[in-house]
Chains A and B, each alone.
Chain A
């Protein structure tokens, strides 16, 4: 479970549906791009901006030409659809990702460590 090292990305992901895509890492899916091409492969990583890295990709371009790629990076803006495989339990995936973020956030215990959202000491 790779949670982003960036607080900003964790917060963005936690508050949007991108977190589901992050939970799809390791699954083989099809990503439909904005320019009508499609990429089918195993999702390696997804960041908070929906940039997607895929491995072992079958890429079909706009004209229909098929090619095989070891790795593909798709900018978040260029994603139109992501097909969700049948075996994925969406609710469980989202909850698992949220738990991973909370584990990182509350690392070190309640009274220790630098906190992500410090409690106001003075009113």
Chain B
């Protein structure tokens, strides 16, 4: 082909931070998002903007309610499950392996 763009090189070495995400492909990951949201799901695809496709994802939204009388902060979290989700990268804050407790 006369006018080919070089096919993207896929190496096995970790050269830049995005390569660390590449190591998590097909694994379950934890994603912290803006607006106090968290996602836990299986990473199927990602791109340079951190747009991601997550499967079997559980979204947790955390809200703080202030009790009118005692003025204490009550942390509430709402969860929902979505089978397959496309996430726009500009909402992503961090990507990590799923948190282990204990």
CB distance from B74 to the nearest CB of A (A): 20
Determine if A25 is an interface residue (Cβ-Cβ < 8 Å).
no
A-B contact count (CB 8 A): 66
CB distance from A54 to the nearest CB of B (A): 15
| Residue pair B88, A80 in contact (C-beta under 8 Å) | yes
- Cross-chain contact of B84 among A17, A84, A110, A115 (Cβ < 8 A): A84
- Chain A interface category by residue count: 20 to 34
| Residue pair B49, A82 in contact (C-beta under 8 Å) | no
| Residue pair A17, B85 in contact (C-beta under 8 Å) | no
CB distance from A62 to the nearest CB of B (A): 12
| Residue pair A119, B3 in contact (C-beta under 8 Å) | yes
Neighbouring A residues of B45 by C-beta, 8 Å: 17, 20, 90
| Residue pair B47, A118 in contact (C-beta under 8 Å) | no
Determine if A18 is an interface residue (Cβ-Cβ < 8 Å).
yes
| Residue pair A17, B82 in contact (C-beta under 8 Å) | no
A residues with a Cβ closer than 8 A to B are: 15-18, 20-21, 34, 50, 76-77, 79-86, 88, 90, 106, 110-111, 115-119
